[in-house]
Chain A
């Protein structure tokens, strides 16, 4: 992208407040995420992780607080607007349509067209080639981009979903529990993919319950509890025991 990077942070969310009725889901949350790093958000169920990423991704709107993208304040009313700006989200449910082929899914609502209106037709060859390129860029090998998603394994689907998020000159990729439904081998492959996204210079934000994975993958970790960020720490400076203590509230994180 051509925007000047005026901030060291790809994403900087400041004092985000969000209520659903009388329930305060976020009580003034601030986090940052750097480009070329994996930033993990951890916390117990109901800590507000999903609400936070939904606000960054444009799905929900914050009651107050700001989100900046490379130093520039942004406000998205729809996921498409966030996507336009380069923020892609891979949801737990993956967002793939099983009856469509891999290339159709990669290009859904971003179809490459030929011809002049009203006679505009799909440029299928271009999209297939491009789909192949998107997949191979992340070293995802799938025998044919013409295969339907229904026939793919969980890991393959996740790979397709991540490839879609990583394509499109995106700058930030948000993932909600990217390996929750996967086996050991497939989890390892998806982690490899996340590393490649990072190496491409993208800012990757991951929600995970798996502390080993968080420590393996991330540079920065934000710990949330009951709608607040308890602490932010560098993965290199912490360990699983400390994370568990922080999440459960056995440790307040105030010492840091």
Chain B
């Protein structure tokens, strides 16, 4: 596009002369889905910041409120990391919020039984990984639709959580956990720092390791990937296990924030994780995406809800706003496949 000299240098084995330059076709133009996939979330974040700053100039961008947004973002931002990996393989995990609840209840049960904090955290994460692996194994091994399997797991995990907790919340009073939830570096809470560290690790795994490439290959074209010797079943099982692991970690963060393990499921966490993945430019067809985008998307969604509250907008409008944002972003990042 801007570099016409490339046209001439083109390609012995190639393209008809009227074909546009490879740069444009590979997706660096404004009209390219790749461009929008990468930048929608950043653009939306900037727009939202400006809008809410105008709406509530005195209250929105205060250190206190920024800290509030970041604190509230930590759980959805951790959860979305796993969802992003799943969607990159062209799957979806509808069970993540229910698995989070199951992990939380497992944590609470261990805590009530007098186990150490370390054991409680370990159990929460392992329960998440086990539930996620079950999803993955059923999906990959028996070739069952991901939607159905994870919907089943949603009900299963929720049910088990209700049974083992007897539908009663368990108070979790733990000094180290409380100071972890309340501690901050400047305006940034520890729990957000944890989320950022996890996101960076996930992004490195995605972009710098063989595993990451094979996850994208599996999502891009699982037939071809398998023909090239990629272990596509193992990749699918792994991403659901990762999603379970992030649900387990997020459950610990949630418990630390509210000081209790609750058996009720937070459905908006599930919706937000899917919405943030779309916002973050991960193709729902799989094969394309990153972790940073969905992570920023999760913070953005939390920020929008916070901004509406601060601006005094009645609560129910939040759902309308989120719905519109998700649809518009899905249109922007759509690709012909």
6 sampled A-B residue pairs with Cβ under 8 A: A95-B228, A97-B216, A97-B220, A97-B287, A140-B11, A150-B27
Q: Which of A98, A109, A148, A186 contacts B221 (CB 8 A)?
A: A98
> Is B208 engaged at the interface, CB distance under 8 Å to the other chain?
yes
A121 to B203, CA, bound (A): 12
Q: Which residues of B contact A (CB under 8 A)?
A: 6, 9-16, 19, 21-27, 34, 204, 208-210, 213-214, 216-217, 219-221, 224-225, 227-230, 283, 286-288
A108–B215 Cα gap in the complex (Å)?
11
Output the nearest chain B residue to A78 by Cβ-Cβ distance.
B229
Q: Which residues of the partner chain A approach B283 to less than 8 Å between Cβ atoms?
A: 99
Enumerate chain A residues within 8 angstroms of B14, measured Cβ to Cβ. 141-142, 153, 155-156, 159, 186, 189
Q: Is the CB of A100 within 8 A of B228?
A: no
Known pairs A98-B220, A100-B213; list 8 more (Cβ under 8 Å): A93-B224, A97-B287, A99-B220, A99-B288, A122-B208, A142-B14, A153-B15, A153-B16
Pair A150/B26 contact, Cβ less than 8 Å: yes
Contacts of A109 in B (CB 8 A): 214, 228-230
**Is the beta-carbon distance between B210 and A111 smaller than 8 angstroms?**
yes
Where the two chains meet, the residues of A that have a C-beta atom closer than 8 Å to any C-beta of B are 78-80, 83, 91, 93, 95-100, 104, 108-109, 111, 113, 120-122, 124, 139-144, 147-148, 150-153, 155-156, 158-159, 183, 185-186, 189-190, 192-193
B220-A155 in contact (CB<8A): no
B11: which A residues are within 8 A, CB to CB?
Answer: 140-143, 156
Q: Contact between B209 and A121 (Cβ–Cβ < 8 Å)? A: yes
Contact A122 B6 (CB under 8 A): no
Cα of A95 to Cα of B221 in the assembled complex, Å: 9
Chain A residue at smallest Cβ distance from B217: A97
Contact call A140/B12, Cβ cutoff below 8 A: yes
Q: Which residues of A contact B217 (CB under 8 A)?
A: 97, 100, 104, 108
Query: B13 is contacted by which of A97, A111, A140 (Cβ under 8 Å)?
Result: A140
**Complex Cα gap A140–B22 (Å):** 14
B288-A183 in contact (CB<8A) = no
Residues of chain A contacted by B216 (CB below 8 angstroms): 97, 99-100
Q: Which residues of B contact A144 (CB under 8 A)?
A: 22-23, 26
A156 CB contact (under 8 Å) in B6, B13, B286? B13
Query: Do residues A95 and B224 form an inter-chain contact, with CB atoms below 8 A?
Result: yes
- Complex Cα–Cα for A142 and B287 (A): 22
Pick from A95, A147, A186: contact of B22, CB under 8 Å: A147
Rounded to whole angstroms, the CA-CA distance of A240 and B26 in the bound complex is 41
A108 to B19, CA, bound (A): 28
Among A83, A96, A113, A121, point to the contact of B224 (Cβ < 8 A): A96
| B227 with A104: CB separation less than 8 A | no
Q: How far is the CA of A222 from the CA of B227 in the complex (A)?
A: 27
The residues of B that contact A96 with a CB separation of less than 8 Å are 224
* A121 / chain B contacts, CB cutoff of 8 Å: 204, 208-209
Q: How far is the CA of A193 from the CA of B34 in the complex (A)?
A: 31
